[in-house]
Structure 1
C-alpha cells in the first residue's frame, strides 16, 4: 500500500513548464525532484509544503499531489476543504485520479452536501481518461441508481472495462452481475480470486463445484475453498470441511474437517456449529464428546439454524 501511494506522489512534469532558473527561483523540474526525494524518504511534511508551493502557480500535477496529501492527512492534518479546490484544478486539467477523488467527495458529502449527479459526472470523466477505479465507481452509480437512472447493462459494461484494466474488485462485481452459467462470469471470478479477494475464491469454488460456466472440477473447487479459508473467509472454511468429510475433490480427512468446523463455529457460522456438534456426537475425527455436542447444537440454534433438533433442546 505504501509503495502504491508513494507512486501517486512521484510525478513527472512537462519539460516546457520550466521557468528560467536563477538563485532565488526553483524550476518546475527541481521542485518535482525535491517532491520525489521527500516522498521516497516519507517526509510528507516536506511533500505538503513543496506541492503547495507548486500548486500556487497552478501546475496541475503539483495541485494533485497537494490535494492527495491533504486528503490522506499526510504531513499534517486532513483538510478536505483545501483538497477540493486543488483536486478541481487537477481534474480540469485531465488528471483522472483527481476527478475520481472529487467523485468520492460528491458521493459521500465529504465537502458540502451529497450530490450523486456530480459524483457520476466526475467518475465518468475519470473513466473516460482511462482510470479503472473511475470506471468501477461509475459502474456502481449505474448499478445502484446514484445520481441518475439504474442500468444493469451500463454497470456490467463498465465493470467489464475496469476488470479488463486490472481492477480485481470490478471482476468480482462483473461476475456477480452476469448469469452464473456464463463462462465470462466464471473467468471474471477466477481473476478476482487470483487477486486474493476471499469471497471471490469462495464463489469461484461454488462455480467449479456446480459446473457453472464450465465443467465441474471438484479438485480445483476444493483448492478455492481452502484458499478462501486461508484468508479467514468462514464460508470457505465450512465448504472445505464439507469436502473433507465427503471426499469430493480431496482425500477424506475427518480430523481436519472437525478442526475446521470447530474454528468456523467460533466465527458464528451456524451450519459449521451443527456439523461440529454431529462429529462430536458421532466421534468422527476424534473422541466423542456429548456435552460438547450439546453445546455446539445450542450455539447453532442460537445462531438461527432451522433444524428439528433445535426444538428438542
Structure 2
C-alpha cells in the first residue's frame, strides 16, 4: 500500500500537460497499427501473511533427512530404539513428508497427533488445510491446530488466526485478532506483524501506540514486513509523532531485504528529500530495486525517472519498457505513461489504437475506483478524436464488454 503522504510525488514526476497536447500527430488517422490484445491479467495484491510449512517441525537427523529426500520410504524406515508408537509414527511422517509422499505423511502425522505429539498436530493441520495427501478440509485443519494451540504453540495459534481471517463462521474461530495476539506474545514473529497491522487498522486511536510497539519488536528481530510496517507507522504519524527520518531508515532496512514496497517508499523519500537529504541518484537506485522486484507502481515511476533523466541518463526505450511492465501489473499511473509514449512513438513504435486502449484502462485503479487525472483525460480525448470513428467505437465496445 502506498503511504498517503508520498502519493503527491507521483504528480511531481508527472509529464506536463503541454506535452500531452502534442502527443497525437496531426495525421494520426493515417497510422495503421496491428490490433493488440486489450490487456493481460494483472496480479492482485495480497497483504495477508503467507502460510508456509514451518521448517522448525523437521526434527530428523540430517542423514535421515537426506535419505528421505533421496527416496527412503517411510514404511521401510528403521525406527530408532526406545520410540513409542506415537513417536514412531511422527518419525515416519517426517520421512514421508520430506520424500513428498503426501498421503503417507498425512496418515502418519494424524496417528502421531492423536498420540499427543504437538508438532504432528501442526503438520496434520497444515496438510489438511493445503490439501496435501488428501482433500482440503478447513474444519479438520482447525481441529488439528486447536490441539496444538491448547498447548500454547505459537505456530498453531498463528495458523488459527489465519483461518479465522477467512471469515468462515462454520469454523467457529471468532475473530483473528485474539489468535494473532496470543501467538505474538508467544514470540511468533509473523504474528507480531499481523497483530501490529490489526492494531494499526483499528478505529481506536490508542491501538496505534501498541501497533508501533509490536511492529518494532518484529523489526528488531529481522522481519522485513515488520520493518516496513514500522516505517509506515512512523511515516504516517500513527501511534506517536511523525518521524520521517526514522521512517526512511526503516524503509531502507526493509528494502535491503528486497521488500519491494519499502524500496519504492525509500526511493520516493529520497527524490522528495523527506526524512533526510534529497538525491535523485539514490532515489533512482531504490526505485530500480522496487521495479525489478515486480512492484507495478515502482516500475512506472522508475521508467518516468529514465524518461526525464532524473538521477541518471535519459533512456526512452527502457522507460517505455518499464511503463509497459507497470501497466500490465495494473498500475493506473503506468498505464497512462505507457499510453503517452505509445501515442508519441517515444521509445516504442507508435501505436494509437494500443495507446487508446491503455488510456481507457488508466481511468480506473487496480481496485476499480475511478482515477481523476486531467492529463489522462486530455490524452484519451486527443486519441479518441484522432482515431477513425469505427475504430474508436470498436475499441470502446471491447473495453466495455470486459468491465
TM-score, with structure 1 as normaliser: 0.76
> Is 1:76 matched with 2:171?
yes
CA contact (8 A) 1:106 1:113 kept: no
Q: Pairwise CA RMSD of aligned residues?
A: 3.4
Could you tell me how far apart the structure 2 residues matched to 1:113 and 1:288 are? 54
- Structure number with the bigger relative contact order (C-alpha 8 A, sep ≥ 6) is 2
Structure 2 match to 1:91: 184
Q: Which string of whole-angstrom CA distances, capped at 9 and with x for unpartnered residues, describes residues 219-258 of structure 1?
A: 1001111222223434333332332343322333445445
For 1:192-207, what aligned pairs fall within 5 Å after superposition?
Answer: 192-207=290-305
Could you tell me how far apart the structure 2 residues matched to 1:228 and 1:153 are? 28
> Is 1:170 matched with 2:262?
yes
Structure 1 residue 177: Cα displacement? 1.1
Distance 1:205 1:44, change over 3 A: same
CA contact (8 A) 1:94 1:129 kept: no
Mean Cα deviation higher: 199-208 or 35-44: 35-44
Unaligned residue ranges in structure 1 (runs of 5+): 293-313
CA contact (8 A) 2:326 2:335 kept: yes
TM-score, with structure 2 as normaliser: 0.60
Alignment partner of 2:127 out of 34, 37, 54 = 37
Unaligned residue ranges in structure 2 (runs of 5+): 1-45, 60-82, 87-110, 273-278, 365-369, 394-403
For 1:123-134, what aligned pairs fall within 5 Å after superposition?
Answer: 123-134=215-226
Could you tell me how far apart the structure 1 residues matched to 2:327 and 2:310 are? 21
Q: Which string of whole-angstrom CA distances, capped at 9 and with x for unpartnered residues, describes residues 283-308 of structure 1?
A: 5xx4379x99xxxxxxxxxxxxxxxx
Q: Which string of whole-angstrom CA distances, capped at 9 and with x for unpartnered residues, describes residues 31-83 of structure 1?
A: 23322321331322122111111111122222222233223336725622xx4
For 1:1-313, what aligned pairs fall within 5 Å after superposition?
Answer: 5-7=50-52, 10=54, 12-13=56-57, 25-41=115-131, 42-73=136-167, 76=171, 79-80=174-175, 83-109=176-202, 114-179=206-271, 181-261=279-359, 264=362, 270-279=374-383, 281=385, 283=386, 286-287=387-388
Structure 1 residue 264: Cα displacement? 4.8
Figure out how many residues of one structure are paired with residues of the other and give that number: 281
CA contact (8 A) 1:228 1:236 kept: yes
